[in-house]
A and B are shown apart, each in its own frame.
Chain A
Amino acid sequence: MEAKPRRKKARTAPMSKFGSLKSHPFGVQPMGNSFLAPGPNQRPPADRRGGLGAIAVLTDEVLMSYVALEFVVLLCNTDAVNESLVFRLMRCSRALYVLCNTDAVWRDRCIARFGGGFGAFSDSWKNTYKAALFASLSVNEKEGIVFVPDVPIKVGFFSDYLFSSWRCSTVPLDALCRSNAPDNIDRRCNLSMECFIEEYDKPGKPVILTDVVTKWPAFKKWSMDYLEKTVGDTIFRAESVDLPFKSYAAYAKHCRENGGSFEEAPLYLFDKYFSHRTSLADDYTVPEYFSEDLFQVLGAEKRPDYRWIIIGPPRSGSTFHLDPNSTSAWNAVITGSKKWLLFPPDCIPPGVFPSVDGSEVTTPISLAEWFLNHYDEIKHWPVKPVECICRAGEILYVPRGWWHCVMNLEESIAITQNFVNTVNLASVLRFCRTKPEQVSGYGSGCLGEELGATLYNRFKSALAPTHQHVIDEELELAQHASRILTNDKEEDDKKKLASLFGKKPALSALAGLCGADDADAGSSFRFSF
């Protein structure tokens, strides 16, 4: 019998090393695909030049920021009619339809216009915006309108900017973050205070404790449903917006039900007022290991922010950062699971570029983008970071000075607190004294700046009765170091200084070898194909 000729299966969705990606709702493909001829009977994707005309001069990114910010730029005064021109632009051509409708910009627009009052989350930010807009109309105005929610049309378009973002939203998380890789962190239970201090706190070594959170009432009680029932109407902070918990819950549910691939960087609830606005703080106790809390001496009103409830869908998380004011932290997972990467002090992660003084950090916009483009670089590093997945019922200790990022692999509810104790006090004093403009946790505005600028002096005064010796030692060491430095003010001297304070200069040298210093620190950090 003759073998049947093998038919090549037409590839319908882009392939990635992580498997087939979901097909883009507007049919966006990478720029390079424009070199492939469309198949027979296939409609060529939208032409950019023809579809944008004179506007084609703008990059996709700039045009989309115009869409996102148009409302902010053109906010009308109460008398004039508010003409929103983006709705007209998007009807002009397929290219403009895709660029003006990409949902990420409608999130910015929705929040800019409605703040936390956008109501029930629909199935996209654009539809949520439209629903909120419709709800704001008077009865008369509503009369003439037939409300039709958007249904995406697969018009086809080539754009690296859009496709890159799509890829970051949809690449499967477990493959992306290597969830199957073994953890390389200690997990302890029944840990004595002395052992914790000697083995982890003093040396500054991360650890996961497995028998603390499981005893909290929060662990037994909390879930998204429970929170919605008990604090559904309370306002919580999610990035730049304050909104009722139930609004956030509806959004989170949508993310979850879309397999965690609705957005590249889902809106993350990170709220510091939960202890004032709710009684949720009664459902947990600060573990004994972290009970020393020296910033307490400043008083509740004048201490930097220090406790947050953190809730987010899969793919939400925090990009690489150092915790504020040189403090240490603990992070307790109540539900869900978080992938952590932690780099020791002086070991700057790949794809992360702090400014010389450390005040600004340039890094890819989303965690997914970092994982796609930089995670593999670690394979070649002699120093490996700590990698682990912290699961429900576990608590992770983050020593001061460790660069870290966190990716929620599932929808997660967590509590985190930062603290100053005997072990890191000198370091915190030095930070507040030498970098008052980088002190954070007091909000923005004049009062915040003043509290930050005065933190060292206020802290010093408040600690004098009990910790004067530490204050004096810290100052002495700094003066001793500055006497060694005479005329030489080069960058190498900063490293010499660092070695005096017990940091490991060897790691800095390694970081230099691995090319962490010589990358191009542009402010726009998009991967392009």
Chain B
Amino acid sequence: MVRITSSDSQEFSVSQDIACQSQLIKNMIEDVGDADEQPIPLPNVAGAILQKGGSCFPSISNAPKLTLFAVIEYATMHKDDPPSAPETDAKPSTSEDIEDRDKQFLNVDQGTLFEIILAANYLDMKSLLDVGCKTVANMIKGKTVEEVRALFNIVNDFTPEEEEQIRKENEWCEDR
């Protein structure tokens, strides 16, 4: 078992095969060894707010912000996945081919989604990062610039001239 602590000092105990889906943790274990049985600190990842009366793994959609918790749940879900083929052999993927279980897993509020992407980047978990980015891409697809702003609550702070220049420079590139 591997012990991990989050930025808010929540401690999690996970089996090694689940923890090592994070390349970062895997490398730490390989470098340091498990001689000390010290928990691995992850100062960049917020922990969890454990639900009252819930099982060990309450449903993600109930809780506002459980990044490390969510990451562990993802890793647990995927622990028996076959290792991914090397990139050169893999068929290029589209944002369409997200597994249903992952779609459900990432059906969360935007804040949580971006926190998960941040955590996946920090923990070096490629498949979770890919799925997170594809999810964001799917949110943006088909939307106009105005609609994207509304979606993410972005303020348009261009002058009309700037907006026009940037549109001319970039618009035709969008669908290629």
Which A residues are within 8 Å of any B CB, using their own CB? 46-47, 50-55, 57-59, 62, 65-66, 69-70, 73-77, 80-85, 87-94, 96-97, 130, 133, 136-137, 144-151, 153, 155, 355-356, 523
With CB as the reference atom, state the residue of chain A lying closest to B163.
A91
Give the complex CA separation of A155 and B165 in angstroms: 13
Interfacial chain B residues near A96, Cβ < 8 Å: 154
Interfacial chain A residues near B95, Cβ < 8 Å: 74
Closest 10 CB pairs of A and B: A75-B92, A57-B114, A53-B152, A50-B155, A54-B110, A53-B153, A53-B154, A87-B174, A54-B152, A145-B172
Q: When A70-B133, A84-B175 are in contact, do A50 and B157 touch as well, CB less than 8 Å?
A: yes
Q: Does B115 contact A (CB under 8 A)?
A: yes
CB-defined interface of B143-161 with A at 8 Å, one 1/0 digit per residue?
Answer: 1010011001111111000
Give the complex CA separation of A85 and B152 in angstroms: 14
Q: Does B111 contact A (CB under 8 A)?
A: yes
Interface pair A83/B141, CB less than 8 Å apart: yes
Give the complex CA separation of A90 and B165 in angstroms: 12
With CB as the reference atom, state the residue of chain B lying closest to A76.
B94
Interface pair A82/B169, CB less than 8 Å apart: no
Interface pair A51/B155, CB less than 8 Å apart: yes
Interfacial chain A residues near B169, Cβ < 8 Å: 148-151
Give the complex CA separation of A338 and B115 in angstroms: 44
Q: Does B85 contact A (CB under 8 A)?
A: no
Give the complex CA separation of A146 and B133 in angstroms: 31
Which B residues are within 8 Å of any A CB, using their own CB? 24, 31, 91-96, 110-111, 114-115, 117-118, 121, 130, 133-134, 136-137, 140-141, 143, 145, 148-149, 152-158, 162-163, 165-176
With CB as the reference atom, state the residue of chain A lying closest to B174.
A87
Can you give 15 contacting A-B residue pairs, CB < 8 Å? A54-B111, A58-B114, A75-B93, A80-B96, A83-B141, A84-B173, A84-B174, A88-B143, A92-B154, A144-B172, A145-B172, A148-B169, A149-B169, A151-B165, A153-B165
**Sample of 8 more A-B contacts, CB < 8 Å, known A70-B133, A73-B137, A77-B92:** A57-B114, A57-B118, A58-B118, A75-B94, A85-B137, A85-B140, A87-B171, A150-B170
Taking the closest CB of chain A, its distance from the CB of B73, in whole angstroms, is: 19
Interfacial chain A residues near B96, Cβ < 8 Å: 80
Taking the closest CB of chain B, its distance from the CB of A59, in whole angstroms, is: 7
Give the complex CA separation of A153 and B167 in angstroms: 13
With CB as the reference atom, state the residue of chain A lying closest to B110.
A54
Interface pair A62/B121, CB less than 8 Å apart: yes
Interfacial chain B residues near A148, Cβ < 8 Å: 168-169
Q: When A51-B157, A80-B94 are in contact, do A73 and B134 touch as well, CB less than 8 Å?
A: yes
